[in-house]
Amino acid sequence: MTAEAGRLIRLRRPPVFNVIPDRWIPDSVDLESVDEAWASLGERNPRYYDGEVLHVLGVVRNGHGGAIVHLAPSSYRFHAVRAMGIDTGIRPLGLKGLCVVAEGGGLGLLAGRRSESSGSYPSMWEYLPGGGVPPEEDGSVRPDLVFKRELHEECGVAATSEPIPIAILRDDVVGTWEVIYRCTLASTPIISPGWEHDEFAVVGPDTLPEPSSDAARAMAALASLVLEGINEAS
């Protein structure tokens, strides 16, 4: 991954999430401008919702093949206005998946083409699932639970194994930090794509259709390793 696109941290053990209680509010931009841009986005797409996000204050390797992710609660609107040219400095926590599925006698990875109305990477292909990671109702940070929910909501399928975190990706194009999980699926998607995606496909690391997202290209080497690992174990 190029320095312009971001950074990829491989994991040998699950990351640790440390949440501070103080709410993060940007101090480098005019908040009235943020409110105006947010209102404009809402007029264009009523699906926008100003929910809770977790802003990544920093990611530190812990020296044991893992990482500590320092977080603070914040609001989605501070990230959404990036599409309007306003970078508030927020870097929300998200997740991405590398889901192995059997199709046509071989193994591939679940992918989807984002819709034109998507807030990030419109009309581009990416691996599925993906999404933001808000705090749970009890205040805990559980990307693994969000992963399962996103997989069901986006694709209508369930994993046949527990999702395992294998990397953390800093996506400087979208402005997020993403925990990448691998898992195996029982089947290909059984529902039609929702508003976020126009099409589903099962692909290999070298056959992801173009245009593909910068994040997907950054995950290509990981995708190859995931498929190689499944093939060796089978």
Cα–Cα dist 180/113, whole Å: 18
Cα–Cα dist 16/59, whole Å: 10
Rg (CA), the chain: 17
pLDDT at residue number 79:
97
pLDDT exceeds 90 at position 224: yes
**How distant, in Å, are the alpha carbons of 61, 110, 136, 233 from that of 141?**
18, 25, 6, 31
Cα–Cα dist 213/67, whole Å: 25
pLDDT exceeds 50 at position 3: no
Q: Convert the pLDDT of each residue in 20-62 to its tens digit.
A: 999 999 999 999 999 999 999 999 888 889 999 999 999 999 8
**Whole-prediction pTM value?**
0.93
Residue extents of the structural domains in the chain: 6-233
pLDDT exceeds 80 at position 144: yes
Complete DSSP assignment for 149-192: HHHHHHHS--BSS--EEEEEEEETTTTEEEEEEEEEBSSS--S-
Q: Which CATH class is domain 6-233?
A: alpha beta
Q: Stretch 169-177: mean pLDDT, rounded?
A: 96
Q: Tell me the average pLDDT of the chain.
A: 91
pLDDT at residue number 229:
78
Q: Which DSSP state fits 123?
A: T
Q: Cβ(222)–Cβ(167) under 8 Å?
A: yes
Q: Convert the pLDDT of each residue in 63-73 to its tens digit.
A: 889 999 999 99
Residues 6+ away with beta carbon under 8 Å from 190:
155, 156, 157
Highest averaged pLDDT of the listed ranges 85-94, 118-127, 199-208 = 85-94
Q: Stretch 94-114: mean pLDDT, rounded?
A: 91
pLDDT at residue number 176:
98
Q: Cβ(96)–Cβ(220) under 8 Å?
A: no
pLDDT exceeds 60 at position 1: no
pLDDT at residue number 233:
45
Structure confidence at residue 230 as a pLDDT band (50, 70, 90)? low
